[in-house]
């Protein structure tokens, strides 16, 4: 079997280990029980691995994207917070989000009539629906339309159509790079209705300060109101993650909207408190 393993999977001391190779100066290795799914798409190598520490995990080209243990934190935070910010979101666009977790969360709101989910890699959706139910919930909701296409191109083709757009991208390298460009945010602005709201993950406030600031600046140049919030995401480097909201009209988060939703992380208090930014972040954003 060893012959067929990619470089980031190694056998040591009788165990299989996945070692993330994205950082030159920090290596995280996960002990793996089993390779549950492994297939190469035209875009990347898609794997579902069963790990000892985090349970099942989705890895793309050997980089962990989400896990059974903590995937809900990220997915709930990027979904319920903007749902509490928009006055009445009915038509939602998700760009990326192949693990289906964001769509699953958005579907917890009855008023949502349609969710267009544009994911470039169909294989990610297939793998997660079948083998990562902790994150995907085996999503099968009639309101969700799967569109396997380039999210940038798709957004460019839309005008005043969506109440809410959620950009659930991977890191700004490779295929996801275009999802951090100013022209992309411009097309989101156009694709939103006049009271529309967008949200994206804007990387780590500690380790990716430049990307975070650039994202916020680009969004605030286009949108009437920009708001940043944070959450803990244990499997992401540094554990601390930022999200940026752009709104075409002024907004007032209504935390009570998440009340009664079946969630593991988000509740009213979390929605109210997530906009409190640490002092270094307040200063970074002012400078």
169 marked among binding-site residues: yes
Residue pair 256/102 in contact (Cβ under 8 Å)? The answer is no
Stretch that binds a second copy, among 16-24, 104-112, 133-141, 183-191 (CB under 8 A): 16-24
Give the angle subtended at the CA of 59 by the CAs of 265 and 35, to the nearest 5°: 110
State the Cα–Cα distance between residues 143 and 56, nearest whole angstrom: 27
Which is nearer to a second copy, 87 or 239 (by Cβ)?
Answer: 239
- Point out which span in 87-95, 100-108, 120-128, 257-265 binds a second copy (CB under 8 A): 257-265
CB 188 within 8 A of CB 167: yes
CB 100 within 8 A of CB 79: no
Binding flag, residue 11, a second copy (CB under 8 A) = no
Element (H, E) at 130: helix 122-131
Specify the residue, 162 or 236, whose C-beta has the smaller distance to a second copy.
Answer: 236
**Beta-strand runs (E) in 169-224:** 192-201
Helical axes 209-222 vs 279-286, angle rounded to 10°: 60
Q: Residues 45-84: x/- map of binding to a second copy (CB under 8 A)?
A: ------xxx---------------xx--x-----------
Confirm if 45 and 209 have CB atoms less than 8 A apart: no
According to the annotation, is 21 in a ligand binding site? no
Q: 82 or 205, CB closer to a second copy?
A: 205
**Closer residue to a second copy (CB): 133 or 238:** 238
Residues forming contacts to a second copy in the complex (CB under 8 A) are 17, 23-31, 51-53, 69-70, 73, 206, 230, 232-234, 236, 238-240, 263-267, 269-270, 272-274, 276-280, 282
Q: Which residues are annotated as a binding site?
A: 44, 99, 119, 150-151, 168-171, 175
């Amino acid at each position: 079997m060893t012959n067929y393993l990619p470089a980031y999977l190694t056998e040591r001391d009788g165990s299989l280990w996945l070692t993330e190779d994205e950082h030159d100066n920090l290596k995280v290795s996960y002990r793996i029980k089993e390779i549950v799914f492994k297939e190469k798409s035209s875009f990347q190598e898609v794997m579902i691995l069963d790990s000892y520490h985090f349970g099942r995990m989705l890895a793309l080209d050997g980089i962990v994207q989400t896990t059974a243990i903590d995937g809900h934190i990220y997915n709930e935070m990027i979904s319920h917070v903007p749902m509490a910010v928009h006055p009445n979101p009915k038509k939602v666009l998700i760009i990326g989000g192949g693990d289906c977790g964001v769509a699953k969360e958005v579907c917890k709101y009855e008023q949502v009539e349609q969710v267009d989910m544009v994911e470039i890699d169909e294989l990610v959706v297939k793998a997660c629906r079948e083998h990562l139910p902790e994150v995907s919930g085996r999503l099968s909701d009639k309101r969700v339309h799967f569109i396997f296409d380039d999210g940038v191109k798709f957004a460019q083709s839309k005008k005043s159509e969506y109440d809410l757009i959620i950009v659930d991208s991977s890191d700004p390298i490779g295929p996801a790079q275009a999802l951090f460009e100013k022209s992309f945010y411009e097309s989101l602005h156009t694709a939103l209705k006049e009271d529309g709201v967008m949200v994206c993950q804007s990387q780590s406030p500690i380790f990716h300060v430049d990307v975070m600031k650039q994202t916020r600046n680009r969004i605030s140049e286009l949108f009437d109101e920009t708001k940043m919030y944070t959450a803990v995401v244990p499997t992401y480097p540094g554990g601390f993650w930022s999200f940026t909201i752009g709104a075409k009209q002024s907004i007032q988060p209504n935390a009570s909207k998440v009340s009664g939703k079946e969630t593991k992380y988000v509740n009213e208090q979390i929605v109210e408190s997530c906009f409190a930014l640490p002092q270094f972040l307040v200063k970074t954003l002012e400078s």
